[in-house]
Amino acid sequence: MDCRLVQHGCYLGSYEYEKRLLFESVVKEGGVVWDVGAHVGFYSLLASILVGPAGRVVAFEPWPENIVYLKKHLYLNRLENVTVVEKAVSDCTGEAWFQEGSCRSTGHLSPQGTLKVKTIRLDDFVQENPALAPDYLKIDVEGAELAVLAGAEKLLADFRPTIFLATHGREIHRRCCDFLWARGYTLSALGSQNLEDSDEIFGLAPENP
């Protein structure tokens, strides 16, 4: 990934264009969005505007360099409905090693990492913060997708959030689809690809618990 193209696309409006349009059409005013893997805040800022003053956004981001920019972007845009959680999301609450990527958008949890970060299970977070239970989950965690979902099993059953999930690798993609299908989610791919070949999943929960 060319990080310069990502940066330019964010302010030119071309970054993840189809995903952004879907996100804008689905997220409603007054909702609660959890941005898992918030990076420097592209979706956190967008979600903050979409949900409005009555809504909330929770931005999960472990990389200190990204957190600095994320908080700066929130401050410059005077957004007060966003809570920043300086932790990586995984299937356990504690600590883990984090591998810095070639640019700020590609860092990820890895035993080979050199940066120790705090981790949180989404089930644990919602138990501690029930007023912030999510209506929407955006997940982009560079390979830890299945761990995020495994740590959110009760949350998915209890609150049935709509999911925007980026997957990294065919095997992880397949296992994430299986995990969500087993919990009654209806899945579709973003864009023109079929679900099997896509790396962007849109998940709708069953209407009834």
Q: For the segment 149-205, what is each residue's pLDDT rounded down to a tens digit?
A: 999 999 999 999 999 999 988 999 999 999 999 999 999 998 767 898 888 999 999
CA torsion sign, 118 to 166 to 47 to 107?
A: positive
Q: Are the C-beta atoms of 69 and 84 separated by less than 8 Å?
A: no
Band (142; pLDDT cuts 50, 70, 90) = confident
Band (1; pLDDT cuts 50, 70, 90) = very low
Polymer length in residues for the chain = 209
Q: For the segment 6-29, what is each residue's pLDDT rounded down to a tens digit?
A: 454 444 355 677 889 999 999 999
First to last CA, the chain: 40
Q: What is the pLDDT of residue 205?
A: 94
Band (4; pLDDT cuts 50, 70, 90) = very low
Task: Report how far apart, in Å, the C-alpha atoms of 120 and of each of 76, 86, 102, 185 are.
Answer: 28, 10, 24, 24
What are the helix and strand counts (H, E) for the chain? 8, 11
Domain spanning 3-204: which CATH class is it, in words?
alpha beta
Cα–Cα distance for residue pair 157/10, rounded to 1 Å: 34
Cα–Cα distance for residue pair 71/150, rounded to 1 Å: 28
Report which secondary-structure segment, H or E, holds 87. none
pTM, two decimal places:
0.88
Q: Across residues 36-52, what is the average pLDDT? A: 95
H-assigned helices in the chain: 3-12, 17-26, 42-51, 64-76, 122-128, 145-150, 153-159, 170-181
Q: What is the pLDDT of residue 15?
A: 64
Domain boundaries, the chain: 3-204
State the burial class of residue 31 (Cβ atoms within 10 Å of its Cβ: 0-12, 13-18, 19+): buried
Q: What is the pLDDT of residue 110?
A: 66
Q: What is the pLDDT of residue 9?
A: 45
Q: What is the pLDDT of residue 99?
A: 75
Angle between helices 42-51 and 17-26 (to 10 degrees): 30
Q: 121 vs 208, which has greater pLDDT? A: 121
pLDDT tops 60 at residue 77: yes
Q: For the segment 99-139, what is each residue's pLDDT rounded down to a tens digit?
A: 776 655 566 666 777 788 999 999 999 999 999 999 999 99
SS3 state of residue 176:
helix
